[in-house]
Structure formats: structure tokens, C-alpha cells
């Protein structure tokens, strides 16, 4: 029984390491997702600026064509001015030209604003593109490191799985069944607990002296009266 229990403890250690590695792998995929999100957010910000730039360029061209139309109206009005008969008509046309010019000056102001904003955007886009190259490189190297780590962990999992199979094969089916049932009842997953100085290391409670003595003397399967884990005598000192 003693040998069997020690083998069972080894199985338990393997299972603990396995589940730790699996949890770490879960964290790794979350980390990878986060890195991808980061890059994606950056690319989105860049795309937003690029589309603002395109919109603004279009707006600038619209202003340009408005100004052009306006200028030709001014020219037409000037032509009309040559053939007016009355002073009243003349004054009205002059007023019209003034209004058209005022309108154009407003458009020119807007065009200037557009140009300033376009200039800012152009600089910001260029900077973002440069940063994007750096960020991509950085993420690529981080991902490379993570991939190596994942590969090592997966290799270790295969090793652990093989070792577990071998150990499990050496355990009596009835004991193995008892182990699995106990494990499923434990929140922490540990089914076997060592006993040292009359303390169960599964729940840190004292086991009755009689039971402790028995555990010493008899080579039998025993359970902690508090946490119901399978007990084994730890004589490692
Ligand atoms: Zn216990």
C-alpha cells in the first residue's frame, strides 16, 4: 500500500503541474489577444485619421470649386456692369460684386483652415505609420518569445501525460477509482495529503493520535476524518 500511495502522490504532482501549465497557457492566449487588440486599436486610429484626411481633401476641393464658380460670377457681373443704363442698376451690380467677393473671402478662410488641418493630419499620419512599423516589430518579437514558451509548455505537457500514464498503470484500479472520486470532491483538486507530526497537510488539522499511530504501524488505506483526503505517511523528516 505504501508504494501504491507514493505512486499516487507522484500522479497527483504530475496532475498539479499539468493543470498549472494549462492555466498558464490560458493566460498566454489572453495575452496574445491583448497584443492583437493593441495593434488593432492603433491601426483603427490610423485608419480614422486617413479617412478624415480624405474627407477634408474632398471638402477642400469643394471649396475650391465654389470659389471658382464665385469668381466667374464676379467676372460675369463685371461684364454686365459695362452695359448698365442707370445709376441705380450700376449701384446694385457693384453691391452684388462686393457680396460675391465677401463670400469668396469667407471661402478662402475656410480653405486656409482646411489646409492647416490637413497639414496637421498629414504629420500625425506619418508619425503613426512610423510608430506602426515599430509596434508591429515589437509585437512580432513578443509573439515569437511567447510562441517559444508555448512550445516548451506543450512539450512538457506531453512528457507529463506520458509519465502519468505510466504511473497510473502501476496503481490498483480500486485505489485509482477511490483517488478519482476523492479528487472530484475536493475543491482544490488534491486527493492525497501527507501527514506529518500528526497534522493532515490537506486541511492542516490534527488527526486523532490513535489514527496517527495506526497510519505508522499499518500499511493500510486511511482517510483524514476532517477533509476525507487519502492520507500517506510522510517520513521525509
Ligand atoms: Zn485533512
Q: What is the pLDDT of residues 117-165, one digit of tens each?
A: 999 999 999 999 999 999 999 999 999 999 999 999 999 999 999 999 9
- Indicate whether 159 and 182 sit together in one domain: no
Number of domains in the chain: 2
The domain that contains 42 carries what CATH number? 1.10.287.1490
Record the cell numbers describing residue 207, joined without a space: 488527526
**Residue 77 maps to a domain:** yes
pLDDT band at 218; cut points 50, 70, 90: confident
- Indicate whether 76 and 164 sit together in one domain: yes
- Indicate whether 197 and 154 sit together in one domain: no
Q: How far is CA 142 from the centre of its chain?
A: 13
209 is in which domain, residue-wise? 177-233
CB–CB of 11/182 below 8 Å?
A: no
Which pLDDT score is estimated for 189? 79
Q: Report how far ligand 1's centroid is from the alpha carbon of 197 (Å).
A: 13
Q: Is a pLDDT exceeding 60 seen at residue 55?
A: yes
Q: What is the pLDDT of residues 1-50, one digit of tens each?
A: 888 999 999 999 999 999 999 999 999 999 999 999 999 999 999 999 99
- Indicate whether 70 and 121 sit together in one domain: yes
Q: Give the mean model confidence (pLDDT) for residues 59-85.
A: 94
**Residue 119 maps to a domain:** yes
- Indicate whether 194 and 228 sit together in one domain: yes
Q: Report how far ligand 1's centroid is from the alpha carbon of 194 (Å).
A: 9
**Residue 1 maps to a domain:** no
- Indicate whether 83 and 99 sit together in one domain: yes
- Indicate whether 134 and 157 sit together in one domain: yes
Which pLDDT score is estimated for 216? 82
- Indicate whether 156 and 193 sit together in one domain: no
Sole residue written with cell 485608419: 47
Give backbone dihedrals phi and psi of 205, rounded to 5 degrees, phi first.
-110, 155
**Residue 165 maps to a domain:** yes
Q: What is the pLDDT of residues 135-144, one digit of tens each?
A: 999 999 999 9
Q: Report how far ligand 1's centroid is from the alpha carbon of 167 (Å).
A: 24
The closest alpha carbon to 194, from 161, 137, 233, belongs to 233
- Indicate whether 104 and 124 sit together in one domain: yes
End of a domain among 115, 135, 170?
170
| Residues forming a β-bridge with 206 | 199
Q: Which residues surround ligand 1, an ion (CB under 5 A)?
A: 200, 202-203, 224, 226-227
Q: Report how far ligand 1's centroid is from the alpha carbon of 169 (Å).
A: 27
End of a domain among 170, 197, 223?
170
- Indicate whether 141 and 209 sit together in one domain: no
**Residue 86 maps to a domain:** yes
Q: Report how far ligand 1's centroid is from the alpha carbon of 34 (Å).
A: 41
End of a domain among 150, 170, 190?
170
- Indicate whether 162 and 182 sit together in one domain: no
**Residue 118 maps to a domain:** yes
Q: Report how far ligand 1's centroid is from the alpha carbon of 23 (Å).
A: 26
Q: Where are the alpha helices (DSSP H) in the chain?
A: 2-82, 87-170, 173-185, 209-217
pTM, to two decimals = 0.73
Q: Report how far ligand 1's centroid is from the alpha carbon of 232 (Å).
A: 11
**Residue 50 maps to a domain:** yes
Q: Report how far ligand 1's centroid is from the alpha carbon of 230 (Å).
A: 8
Which pLDDT score is estimated for 219? 80
- Indicate whether 123 and 32 sit together in one domain: yes
Which pLDDT score is estimated for 188? 74
**Residue 13 maps to a domain:** no
Amino acid at each position: 500500500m505504501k508504494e501504491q500511495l507514493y505512486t499516487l502522490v507522484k500522479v497527483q504532482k504530475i496532475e498539479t503541474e499539468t493543470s498549472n501549465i494549462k492555466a498558464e497557457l490560458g493566460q498566454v492566449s489572453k495575452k496574445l489577444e491583448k497584443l492583437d487588440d493593441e495593434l488593432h486599436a492603433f491601426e483603427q486610429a490610423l485608419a480614422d485619421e486617413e479617412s478624415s484626411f480624405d474627407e477634408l481633401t474632398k471638402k477642400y476641393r469643394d471649396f475650391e470649386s465654389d470659389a471658382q464658380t464665385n469668381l466667374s460670377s464676379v467676372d460675369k457681373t463685371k461684364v454686365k456692369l459695362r452695359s448698365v443704363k442707370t445709376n441705380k442698376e450700376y449701384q446694385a451690380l457693384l453691391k452684388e460684386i462686393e457680396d460675391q467677393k465677401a463670400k469668396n473671402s469667407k471661402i478662402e478662410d475656410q480653405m486656409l483652415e482646411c489646409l492647416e488641418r490637413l497639414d496637421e493630419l498629414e504629420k500625425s499620419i506619418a508619425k503613426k505609420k512610423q510608430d506602426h512599423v515599430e509596434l508591429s516589430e515589437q509585437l512580432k518579437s513578443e509573439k515569437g518569445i511567447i510562441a517559444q514558451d508555448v512550445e516548451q509548455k506543450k512539450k512538457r505537457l506531453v512528457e507529463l501525460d506520458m509519465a502519468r500514464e505510466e504511473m497510473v498503470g502501476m496503481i490498483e484500479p480500486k485505489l485509482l477509482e477511490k483517488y478519482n472520486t476523492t479528487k472530484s470532491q475536493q475543491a482544490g483538486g488534491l486527493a492525497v495529503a501527507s501527514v506529518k507530526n500528526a497534522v493532515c497537510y490537506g486541511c492542516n488539522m490534527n488527526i486523532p493520535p490513535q489514527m496517527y499511530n495506526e497510519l505508522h504501524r499499518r500499511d493500510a488505506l486511511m482517510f483524514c476524518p476532517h477533509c476525507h483526503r487519502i492520507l500517506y505517511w510522510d517520513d521525509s523528516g
